[in-house]
Structure 1
Amino acid sequence: MEAYIHEALFVLFQLCLIVQLYYLLTHHNGLGSYTPPQEMPEPTVPVSVIISARNEADNLTQYLPYILQQNYPEYEVVVINDRSTDQTADVLMDIQKEFAHLKIVTVTEHDRYKTGKKFALTMGIKAARYEHFLFTDADCKPATLHWITRMAANFNATTQIVLGYSPYTRTRNFLNPFIRFETLKTAINYLSSALKGDAYMGIGRNLAYTRSLFFGAKGFASHMHVMSGDDDLFVNQNATPTNAAIEIHPDTFTYSDAKTTLSSWFTQKKRHMGVGKLYRNSHRRMLSLDAVSGFLFYVLFILFIILKFEPLLAAGVLLFRLILQLLVYRRVFKKLDCGDLLWWLPFFDMIYYLYLNVFGLIGTFIKTTRWK
């Protein structure tokens, strides 16, 4: 009987491998082969850059002038001061004296109800002049002065959503490598799916879409009750096989600093928990299958080693998967400015799938009531 159980578990182990290889070779490999246009495009449309900021005086001082100096002929920057209690208002007023294309929108706390980032963004969108919106956060810095040029160049008669990429800056903090790895894996997943015509999310640190799409979908109305999701839920509900594009030229990366403590990182992740359950059913199944198969793959491998059941064969299967991962991810990691993380792959990949399942369960029960 015990032998049958072992054999059944090994069959499950192999099935998990097949699922993992499916995602690796049919999704992620396509991103490794994708090359964004290298020539500098000509500006085609005016752009409204929209930033929601709450208590971001220091970050605005450091990063906002760089966004205001983008090499683009016609654009504005709309910053929403969302109920800040620090010097954000003063900083914005000082910067506006130098940059006339900065527009300030102020949101104040209402005595009768609390507002969130979606409300602030909606106020900024309504105040924006142009049809094409480009979003980032107050703590983000575009890699170059051509960020707007390359992101906006993706808009055309059919493309209404442009998914960008926003890595974290590399530091020596002990959490930094894994936070960057998790962000990288998330990007690989959503960029790969978008390339295949099945965009399911984007990130607010580097995302663009049109005014027509926003108001045609009634903005964030369908998920205004959820604190997070101004980026991924909006994309999930409004992307089609033909209206979403990706932009991963290094000129368009927007960098920010990762959290440096476990508590601050956990607080940040809490804001994102639970949103996935509102994704389309097909996307929930896709993401769940990847998360569960990856988790079971490692659990079963460890179990086989402990039980000394075909340990060499199990190790061979693990090594086979790792080699394929290295072949595919070598190009992808380098393309997304995370080549140094390839050395961490054997360890972080296992931690990543544990993280997905644990945080997925937590997200089922935790309700976040604040965005910052």
Structure 2
Amino acid sequence: MLIIILYFFIVVVAIQLSYYLGVFGKFSFAKAQKTTPKRLSVSVIVCAKNEEENVVNFIPLLAEQNYPDFEIVLIDDASSDGTLDIFEDFEKQYPNIRLVKVQNNEAFWGNKKYALTLGIKAAKNDYLLFTDADCYPTSKEWITAMSSQFTMQKTIVLGYGGYEKIANSFLNKLIRFETLLTAIQYFSWAKAGHPYMGVGRNLAYKKDEFFNVNGFINHIQIRSGDDDLFVNEAATAKNTAIAYAPESFTYSKPKTKYRDWITQKRRHVATANHYNTLDKLQLGLFYCSQLLFVILPIILLSFQFRWILVLSLIAVRYIAVWIVIGFSAGKLKEKDLKYWFPIVELVLIFTQINIFILNTFSKPVHWK
């Protein structure tokens, strides 16, 4: 039995190395990205529901972007706080702001996709750039950096949406590591010619792509997924580019309570269940191999079975992963995280098991 477990462990290590070196290395070892400005008319779209504290601070950062031709489409999704009042003040203050007021609709009550659809239709420009109401760009060149990746063929651009750093917070490191690992995956698969997701905190596409797949209609009944389910359906090897120059990043305020973060991740995991079959298989294989990489050597080492070989395999895998994570973290300005690997990785693996169990027995709550 132990020899079978050993062979199984060798296969698991090979799978992990294939992912990290064969796939994720495509992004990790890629050259730094250069930004070449393009003269495209861009509509920045922000959908907000009860976000008065965030929009009052972040919308001015969007309005002050250093870009010659852009509008901001602000969508108020039937907020019950002061969000709409703030939006109306911004509309008077900035001539390039367009306001879309969404009323509760019995058929689409509380559905962000319905609100976004109204905003997309109201946008006057063909190139759309999305971010969330609790996000802000890292520089005044954000629109320039994201739109620079559009070409005649590349009409979907995947960007990086990170989280602010909080000193002396392990939860913050865990959140940022999970975000980093997710970005490594969707950037790498896109570079490999198989894009499967993007994040609404930083995503751009041409309006034609939205209408080519009839908008969100094929997953309108799923409250979440206005970003990743759309990309999963619309993105191809030919039409998708990635933006990872530092000027293209956006940041959000992270959760500060473990329970709140778990609730957020449960929504994300539940949405991933609606990806196409091939994407679910590749994600499932990756996460299963991560878990087995932790469990199998514990069994083997507890019996001291071929312990030199087992430890060697562990060392090879950790060195390879640390290198890939380190280079990627450098590109995405998350260098401090590489010093916490593999501690945060181990915690994340068991957190994902917890989320899987929770989602099995209850449905997560969506949109506000």
Normalized against structure 1, the TM-score is what? 0.94
Give the Å deviation of 1:88: 0.5
Give the Å deviation of 1:349: 2.0
SS of the aligned residue for 1:76 comes to strand
SS of the aligned residue for 1:49 comes to strand
How far apart in 2 are the matches of 1:125 and 1:363?
A: 32
Q: 2:93 aligns with which of 92, 98, 113?
A: 98
| Conserved? CA contact 1:227–1:369, under 8 Å | no
Query: What is the one-letter code of the residue matched to 1:163?
Result: L
Task: Pick which of 313-322 and 177-186 moved more.
Answer: 313-322
What residue is the counterpart of 1:28 in the other structure?
A: 24
Give the Å deviation of 1:94: 1.7
1:254 and 2:241 matched: no
1:122 and 2:140 matched: no
How far apart in 1 are the matches of 2:344 and 2:161?
A: 20
**Closer, same or farther: CA 169–68 of 1 in aligned 2, 3 Å:** same
Give the Å deviation of 1:364: 4.8
SS of the aligned residue for 1:8 comes to helix
| Conserved? CA contact 2:37–2:147, under 8 Å | no
What is the correspondence of 1:1-372 to structure 2 with a 5 Å cutoff?
Answer: 5-38=1-34, 40-110=35-105, 114-172=109-167, 173-368=169-364, 370-372=366-368
How far apart in 1 are the matches of 2:357 and 2:205?
A: 31
Query: What is the one-letter code of the residue matched to 1:145?
Result: K
Give the Å deviation of 1:320: 1.4
| Conserved? CA contact 1:273–1:364, under 8 Å | no
Equivalent pairs, count:
367
How far apart in 2 are the matches of 1:218 and 1:228?
A: 17
Give the Å deviation of 1:112: 6.5
**Closer, same or farther: CA 369–32 of 1 in aligned 2, 3 Å:** closer
SS of the aligned residue for 2:46 comes to strand
- Runs of 4+ deviating beyond 4 Å: none
How far apart in 2 are the matches of 1:46 and 1:127?
A: 14
SS of the aligned residue for 1:273 comes to helix
| Conserved? CA contact 1:134–1:207, under 8 Å | yes
How far apart in 1 are the matches of 2:280 and 2:85?
A: 44
SS of the aligned residue for 2:224 comes to coil
| Percentage identity across paired residues of the two chains | 38
Deviations 1:235-262 (A, max 9, x none): 0111111100000000010011110001
**Closer, same or farther: CA 125–365 of 1 in aligned 2, 3 Å:** farther
Give the Å deviation of 1:306: 2.9
| Conserved? CA contact 2:78–2:101, under 8 Å | yes
| Conserved? CA contact 2:110–2:367, under 8 Å | no
Task: Pick which of 301-310 and 183-192 moved more.
Answer: 301-310
Normalized against structure 2, the TM-score is what? 0.95
| Conserved? CA contact 1:59–1:138, under 8 Å | yes
**Closer, same or farther: CA 50–113 of 1 in aligned 2, 3 Å:** closer
| Conserved? CA contact 1:46–1:132, under 8 Å | yes
Deviations 1:268-300 (A, max 9, x none): 123223222221211111111111111111111
Give the Å deviation of 1:113: 5.5
Deviations 1:38-86 (A, max 9, x none): 3x42332100101110111110111110011111111111111112111
How far apart in 2 are the matches of 1:369 and 1:357?
A: 19
Superposition RMSD in Å: 1.6
**Closer, same or farther: CA 19–144 of 1 in aligned 2, 3 Å:** same
The gaps in structure 1 that reach 5 residues or longer are none
